[in-house]
Amino acid sequence: MRRLKWAVLVLFGAAAVAALALIFSRTPTRVDAATVKRGVFVQTVLNEGKTRVRDRYSVTAPIAGILARTSLEVGDPVDPSTVIAVIAPGLAPLEDPRARQVLEERLGAAEAGRSRAAALLESARARMTQARTDLERTSALAAKGVVTATRKERDELVNTLAERELASAEFGAHMAEHEEALARAALDVAGRKETEARRIEIRSPIEGVVLKIAQESEGPVAIGSPIMEIGDPRGLEIVADVLTTDAVQIEPGANAVIERWGGPRPLSARVARIDPEAFTKVSALGVDEQRVYVVMDVTSPREEWRRLGDAFRIEARIEIARIPDAVIVPVGALFKQKAEWSVFVIENNRARIRAVTLSRRGDTNAAVTAGIVPGEHVVVFPPPALRDGDKVIIGEGEH
C-alpha cells in the first residue's frame, strides 16, 4: 500500500514536471505589435455624397404662349444681360378676365415675396453685423489671454455661418426682385392690343452657367412651366446622407475631408448645417435606414476643385468627435474578454491580457481612459491560439 502511494506521487510529480517543461519549452509566437501613443484622437464617419450648386435658379414661364427655340446649350455662361428665353402669347385672347386675374395674382404674390425677402435680408445683415462685432471683441480679448481659444473658434464659426446666411438672403432678395419684374412684364404684355408687339424677353436672373434646359425647341408652354435651370458653379456645396445615429453627434462647423472625388488629393470642408428632417433609405442589404442630409462647404482653394460640377459623386469623411489629449491604441489590438474590452500587452517578451476602458472607438484607432499607458506595446490582430502568458516574438516591424 505504501509503495502504491509513493508510485502515485512519483507519477503526479513527473506529470507536473513534464507539463511545466512543455509550457516553458513552447516555441514563442510571432506577433505584430504597436506602441500605445498619446495624441489627438479624431473619430469620423464615412458616407457617400454629391456636389450641389448652392445658388441655383429655376426659370419658369411667366405667361402662357409660344416659347421660341433657344440658342443656349448646357454649360453656356450667362449674366443678367443675356436673353435666355422669348415667349409670344398664344392664340388665346389675353384680354380674357380670368387670364388677366391669374397674372394679377401672380404679380401680387411676387410683390409679397419681394417684401418677405427684403425683411429676411435686413435680418441677416443685422446678424452679420452682430457676429462680426462679437468676433472682433473676442479676438482682442483672446490676444490678451482673457478668453479661451475655444470661445474665439466658436465666434469665428458664428461669423462664418452669418456670412453664409447673408449671402443666401441676398440671393433670395435678388431672385424675388426678378420674379416681380417678370410678373409685371407678363401683365404688361397681356394688356397690349393685338396690333402691338406682344412678346416677353426673359433675361438671366444671375451670373452663372446653364445647368439644364427643359425645352429646347419652339413650342407652347403653360404659365409656370419650367424653362431652364441656371446656377453658379463657383458656389458648390457637398451633400451627404448620414445615419441619424451619427448625425446627432455632428456639430455645425465640424471638419470634413472630401475623398474619391477624382482629384489628386483630398479636399477640406466644413459642416454648414444638418437638415432637421430625416428620410428612409433602403441599404444594399435591404434594410430600412433613417438618414439625414449633412451639408458642407468646401474650404480648399477653388483652383483645386474647379473641375467639380453639379451632382458629382464624392465620399465625405465627417468628424464626429475630437479628443486633444488621448491615449490611443489600434482597433486591431482590441478583443472582448468576459464582456470587457481587452488587449494583449507585451511584458518581458510575454503576452499578458489586460482589460481596458474605451471612451471612443473609430475605424482604425480607439481612445482609452484606463488600463494602459503610453509607451507600452500591444499585440495587433492576436492569433487565435495566443494565450495569457505565452512567449511572443515581435514580427518584421512594429506599427
Q: How many CB atoms lie within 10 A of CB 346?
A: 18
Q: From residue 279, how far is each of 239, 276, 282 by CA, in Å?
A: 14, 10, 10
Q: Tell me, yes or no, whether 7 lies in a domain.
A: no
Residue 113 neighbours by CB under 8 Å, 6+ apart: 176, 179, 180
Q: Tell me, yes or no, whether 211 lies in a domain.
A: no
The answer on 238 and 184 residing in a single domain is no
Predicted local distance difference test score (pLDDT) of residue 9: 58
Q: What does DSSP assign to residue 359?
A: E
Q: Tell me, yes or no, whether 185 lies in a domain.
A: yes
C-alpha cell at 386: 495566443
Phi, psi of 273 (to 5 degrees): -165, 160
Domain edge (last residue) among 323, 342, 359 = 323
Beta bridge partners of 391: 350
Q: Tell me, yes or no, whether 350 lies in a domain.
A: yes
From the number of C-beta atoms within 10 Å of its C-beta (0-12, 13-18, 19+), residue 138 rates as buried
Q: How many CB atoms lie within 10 A of CB 66?
A: 15
C-alpha cell at 394: 515581435
Pairing of strands 340-347, 350-355: antiparallel
* Structural domains of the chain, count: 3
- Report d(CA 240, CA 40) in Å as an integer: 25
The answer on 347 and 386 residing in a single domain is yes
Beta bridge partners of 258: 267, 316
Phi, psi of 37 (to 5 degrees): -125, 160
Residue 109 neighbours by CB under 8 Å, 6+ apart: 183
Instruction: Provide the whole-model pTM.
Output: 0.65
Q: What is the domain extent for residue 372?
A: 27-40+325-398
Q: Tell me, yes or no, whether 226 lies in a domain.
A: no
Q: Tell me, yes or no, whether 21 lies in a domain.
A: no
- Report d(CA 256, CA 106) in Å as an integer: 43
The answer on 183 and 130 residing in a single domain is yes
Helix (H, G, I), strand (E, B) or coil at 300: coil
The answer on 329 and 319 residing in a single domain is no
Question: CATH code at 368?
Answer: 2.40.420.20
- Report d(CA 245, CA 130) in Å as an integer: 34
Asked if residues 125 and 138 have their Cβ atoms less than 8 Å apart, the reply is no
Beta bridge partners of 392: 29
The answer on 310 and 257 residing in a single domain is yes
Predicted local distance difference test score (pLDDT) of residue 284: 78
The answer on 373 and 296 residing in a single domain is no
The answer on 33 and 103 residing in a single domain is no
Q: Tell me, yes or no, whether 186 lies in a domain.
A: yes
Predicted local distance difference test score (pLDDT) of residue 195: 43
Pairing of strands 392-398, 29-35: parallel
Q: Tell me, yes or no, whether 15 lies in a domain.
A: no
C-alpha cell at 157: 464659426
In order along its 399 residues, the chain shows pLDDT tens digits of 555 555 555 556 655 555 554 555 557 888 889 999 999 999 999 999 999 988 788 888 887 788 888 889 988 999 888 888 888 876 544 455 666 666 677 777 777 888 888 888 888 888 888 888 888 888 888 887 777 777 777 788 788 778 878 877 877 777 777 777 777 766 666 655 554 446 788 888 888 899 999 888 888 888 878 888 988 888 889 999 999 999 999 988 899 999 999 989 999 999 988 999 999 998 878 888 999 999 999 989 989 998 888 889 999 999 998 898 999 999 999 999 888 999 999 999 999 999 999 999 988 899 999 999 999 999 999 998 889 999 988 875 455
**Residue (of 327, 325, 351) closest to 337 by Cα position:** 351
Q: In degrees to the nearest 10, what's the CA dihedral of 314, 315, 318, 323? A: -140
Predicted local distance difference test score (pLDDT) of residue 95: 53
Predicted local distance difference test score (pLDDT) of residue 33: 92
Domain edge (last residue) among 308, 323, 338 = 323
The answer on 346 and 358 residing in a single domain is yes
Residue 174 one-letter amino acid: H
- Report d(CA 245, CA 367) in Å as an integer: 20
Asked if residues 215 and 60 have their Cβ atoms less than 8 Å apart, the reply is no
- Report d(CA 24, CA 391) in Å as an integer: 9
The conformational region for residue 364 under phi > 0 = left, psi -120 to 50 = alpha, else beta, is alpha
Domain edge (last residue) among 323, 339, 372 = 323
The answer on 391 and 346 residing in a single domain is yes
The answer on 343 and 302 residing in a single domain is no
Question: CATH code at 262?
Answer: 2.40.30.170
The answer on 381 and 354 residing in a single domain is yes
Q: Which single residue is written with the C-alpha cell 448646357?
A: 74
